[in-house]
Amino acid sequence: MDEHILIQKVKKGDKEAFKSLFLANKDRVYRFVRSMINKSEDVDEIVIDVFFKAFHDIKNFKEKSKFSTWLYRIAHNTSIDYFRKKKRELINTDKYQEYANQSDIQKSLAKFEITERESIIRGAIEKIDPENRDMIKYVFFEGLKQEEIAELLDIQKGTVYSRLHNAKKKLKLILLNEGFVN
């Protein structure tokens, strides 16, 4: 069914229509929140909160942008609220669990090398200022287009382009300084 029709039905209180919107968007919202929050049990809670807010605020959705962009905005704000409440850095322990569960030495070494590279890149990304770091996450982890990011953050497309360019330069410089890139 057409997204516009589903939205109109949800605005009239149709829970089945909202279920359709939820099913169509839940995985993308989960990945989006997961790119910002590293603690999976908190991600689930935040995603539920995002859809709860979307259901209750859909009457305010003007359809000037895509529904997914509006939903990403809610997810972004909800994640920021989460950080404000927690006020601490979360550590992704998945890589350590994967390493601990490996039984074969060769697989363990290969996995460790991949995990080490991933850790270096993620660590370098975390060293970038939050505005530029978000650009990297939105583009490379979420696959958002510059227009979508501009709409999501309510900034000019040129600002997105500039921040992304600066973020790439900073990331490359950090990786060069750490000897990771030639």
pLDDT digits (tens, 9 = 90+) for 24-71: 999 998 988 888 776 667 888 888 889 889 888 888 888 888 888 889
CATH topology of domain 3-86: Rna Polymerase Sigma Factor; Chain: A (1.10.1740)
On the CB side of 25, CA atoms within 13 Å amount to 26
pLDDT of residue 90: 40
Distances (CA, A) of 151 to 12, 69, 114, 141: 26, 7, 35, 18
Q: Could you read off the pLDDT of 123-163 as tens digits, one per residue?
A: 888 888 888 888 888 888 778 888 888 888 889 999 999 98
List the CATH code of the domain at 94-177. Answer: 1.10.10.10
Q: What stretch(es) of the chain map to CATH 1.10.1740.10?
A: 3-86
- Compute the Cα dihedral for 131, 116, 144, 35 and give only its sign: negative
DSSP 59: G
SS3 159: helix
Q: How does residue 115 score in pLDDT terms, banded at 50, 70 and 90?
A: low
Contact 133, 153 (CB under 8 A): no
pLDDT of residue 109: 55
Helix intervals (H) in 12-136: 15-36, 40-57, 67-86, 94-101, 105-127, 130-136
Q: How does residue 116 score in pLDDT terms, banded at 50, 70 and 90?
A: low
